[in-house]
Amino acid sequence: MIPTSFDYVAPESLDEAVALLQKHGDDAKVLTGGQSLIPLLRLRLARPGVVVDLRKLSDLGRIESAGEALEIGAAATHAEVMNSAAALEKCPLLSETAGEIGDVQVRNTGTIGGSLVHADPAADWPAAMLALGATMVLSGPQGERAVAAEDFFVGLLESAAQPGEILTGIRVTVPRQPAARAYRKLAQSASGFALAGAAVQLALDGDTIAEARIGITGVAEHAYRPREVEAALTGGALDASSVETACASAAEGVEVLEDIHAGAAYRGHLASVLTKRAVLAAIERAHGHAS
């Protein structure tokens, strides 16, 4: 209930923040919304000496259109992404995914960057990041570097962000048009995290799928792209049975998680079903929109 004692710093600039992290190394934790960090502090599962709060770096909260891309500050809250007109217009999969996260209070406080760095295997954002082919922008002592989403999630609660690095933003290229998208998840009944979740971003071409990118969360140690499914969908027809067949291998080649909430067989099955449902929902929505 009560965290261990720590020092608190709210740096005025990104450089200052990076310098603080460099100085304190593993002893420092970055705080944005706190929805992942503070429960860990309260249960004393995290015991930092210094908490570096990024709240004064107002640039980190921006969501901006930049030509064919969307730049999302890492400290934008889930609710800000959900309600962003730019996101809704250019990349509605972001808004849809944001709306599925946690609850109202968590969405009001938690940040996209905080969630991504925490890399919870059942978090919602990683699925969308993979489906969108997003790029994570990290700042560290050596300056800025960009990491593709599929290189960003590397293990259980482990992202590619190195100690001393701060995730500052997420860059999303506006999906190829005409586009279709959907996120489908089955929530773990207590936590609201995904037992499994599938985010789908499609490019359509008449009666076929021209391109498919899919991110699956909740099923493995970290979110992943089911490449076989993507390949099977690409160039394929839009009918339910073709889609179902293509999605059957959504958990193939993956070491599926098992816990008291869902066994591996069921989780693997969910990956296929939710992927199928997301693809079909995306298509249906796109057609509804077109007509």
Partner 1 sequence: MEITVSVNGKPERRDVEPRLLLCYFLRDVLGLTGTHVGCETSLCGACTVLVDGKAVKSCTRLAVQCDGQEVTTIEGLARNGELHPMQAAFREHHGLQCGFCTPGMILAAVDLVDSGEARDETAVRHGLEGNLCRCTGYQNIVTAVLEAAGSSS
Partner 2 sequence: MSGDTSYIGKPVRRKEDRRMIQGLATYVEDVDLPGLHHVAILRSPFAHARIDGIRREAALAFEGVVDVITGEDTTHIGTVPRSTVLPEEVNSPRTPVLAEGKVRFAGEPVAAVVATSKEAARDALELVEVDYDPLPVASEPEAALADGAPVLHEGIDDNLAFDWTLAGGELTWGDARERADRVIEQRLVHQRLAPIAMEPRGVVARFDPGTEETTLWTSTQIPHFVRTFVAIMLSIPETKLRVIAPDVGGGFGSKLNVYREEALLCFLARRTGKPVKWIERRSENFQSTIHGRGQTGDVQVAVTSDGKILGIHYDVLADLGAYHQLLTPAMPAITGLMLSGAYAIPHITIHVRGVFTNRMSTDAYRGAGRPEATYVVERVADLVAAELDMDPVELRQRNFPSEFPYETATGLTYDSGDYVKALNKAIEVGEYAGLRAQQAEARAEGRLVGIGLSSYVEICALGPSSAMPSGGFGWDSATVQVHPTGSVSVLTGVSPHGQGQETSFAQIAADKLGLDLDQVEVKHGDTHAVQYGVGTFGSRGIAVGGVALYRALEQVIDKATRLAAALLETEADQVRFEGGVFHGPDGALAFGEVAFAAHVAKDLPPGFEPGLRATAFYEPENFTFPFGTHLCVVEVDPELGTIDIQRFLAVDDCGKVVNPMLVDGQIHGGIAQGLGQALLERVVYDDAGQLLTGTLMDYAVPKAHQLPRFQTERTETPSPVNPLGAKGVGEAGTIGATPAVVNAVVDALRPLGVRHLDMPLTPDRIWTAIQAAERSKVGAR
Interatomic CA distance for residues 131 and 202, integer angstroms: 9
Interatomic CA distance for residues 96 and 283, integer angstroms: 15
Q: Give me the 144-173 binding string for partner 2, x by CB under 8 A, dash otherwise.
A: ------------------------------
Least gap, CB of 164 to partner 2 (angstroms): 28
Q: Give me the 48-67 binding string for partner 1, x by CB under 8 A, dash otherwise.
A: ---x-x-x------------
The amino acid that residue 28 corresponds to is A
Instruction: Give the footprint of partner 2 on residues 171-190 (CB under 8 A).
Output: 186, 189-190
Instruction: Return the one option of partner 2, partner 1, none that residue 269 interacts with (CB less than 5 to 8 A, by type).
Output: partner 2
Interatomic CA distance for residues 210 and 204, integer angstroms: 5
Contact (Cβ atoms closer than 8 angstroms) between residue 55 and residue 30: no
18 vs 251, which CB is nearer to partner 2? 251
Spell out the residues 6+ positions from residue 285 whose beta carbon is closer than 8 angstroms to its own. Answer: 180, 181, 182
Contact (Cβ atoms closer than 8 angstroms) between residue 188 and residue 122: yes
76 vs 219, which CB is nearer to partner 2? 219
Contact (Cβ atoms closer than 8 angstroms) between residue 46 and residue 37: yes
Please name the helix (run of DSSP H) or strand (run of DSSP E) that holds residue 202, with its range, or none.
strand 194-205
104 vs 260, which CB is nearer to partner 1? 104
Please name the helix (run of DSSP H) or strand (run of DSSP E) that holds residue 173, with its range, or none.
strand 166-173
Q: What are phi and psi of 185, to 5 degrees?
A: -140, 155
260 binds partner 1 (CB under 8 A): no
Look-up of token digits 């099977």: 232
6 binds partner 2 (CB under 8 A): no
241 binds partner 2 (CB under 8 A): no
107 vs 267, which CB is nearer to partner 1? 107
Instruction: Return the one option of partner 2, partner 1, none that residue 291 interacts with (CB less than 5 to 8 A, by type).
Output: none
235 vs 263, which CB is nearer to partner 2? 263
Note the residues at the interface with partner 1 (CB under 8 A).
1-8, 10, 31, 34-35, 38-39, 41-43, 51, 53, 55, 79, 102-106, 108-109, 190-192
